[in-house]
Structure 1
Amino acid sequence: MNAREAAREDSLDRLFSALSDRNRRAILAQLMQGPATVSEVAEPLQIALPSALKHLAVLETGGFIRSSKEGRVRTLELREDAFRALEHWVAERQRYWHSGFDRLEAQFLSAKKPKNSP
């Protein structure tokens, strides 16, 4: 594995790790509605602020969110490209499975053809 592939795999590890927790998925769902402050994100989860900050750090490291600070208020928002790497990864697997099903279908249909047909 070359350095570029290793970096891509590390990035995917961070993405999937970020999505592995229900609180982080809830934060992403909330941020899909628009930017929110850390307090606004933590409140519906009913978790302590330090716990929310840990989840937010994982999401930021995973590339899902960005934060900005104005005074004492930290505002969070989804990154526009947040799910692009995941979409690409899933699309690669879909192509693989679809091509496998296409081959299986072709083999099955060719086995079902009568011997005398063209």
Structure 2
Amino acid sequence: MTDRLDQVFAALADPTRRAILSMLLEDDMAVTDVAAPFDISLAAVSKHLATLSRAGLIVQERRGRVVWCKLDPGALAAASTWMQGFGQFEPVHLDAFEQFLAAQSLVEADRAGD
């Protein structure tokens, strides 16, 4: 599972690949339609799609001469489940932490003055 998560997070690290995933949230798309909004070559888009496919984030399917891409939410679900394990921790409240440190400084100052 660790290798799969590594692939998912590596694929998500690139903004072009995240944009592609956002586009595929709307509907399945042909590779040429995926490439249209980007100012990069079709070959570069194909490499991004291959990375997303290896990570299990998309599925590519040939229909006649056209290769279609569709989102496969399974890999994202596994990554989401892993990340939810970190939700058990309370968010750090910096103001409260700062007040605690100030109070501790006063206590230590009082001890030093005794």
Q: TM-score, normalised by structure 2?
A: 0.76
* Other-structure match for 1:31: 24
What do the CA deviations read for 1:42-74 (whole angstroms, capped 9, x no partner)? 110121000000000000011110011012100
| Runs of 4+ in structure 1 over 2 Å off | none
Whole-angstrom CA distance in 2 between matches of 1:52 and 1:89: 28
Is residue 3 of structure 2 the alignment partner of residue 19 of structure 1? no
Whole-angstrom CA distance in 1 between matches of 2:80 and 2:13: 16
- Opposite residue 27 of structure 1, the aligned amino acid is I
Task: Note the residue ranges of structure 1 that are not aligned, 5 or more in a row.
Answer: 1-7, 102-107, 109-118
Identity fraction in percent: 37
Task: Note the residue ranges of structure 2 that are not aligned, 5 or more in a row.
Answer: 94-99, 101-114
Q: TM-score, normalised by structure 1?
A: 0.73
Larger-Rg structure: 2
Whole-angstrom CA distance in 2 between matches of 1:21 and 1:33: 20
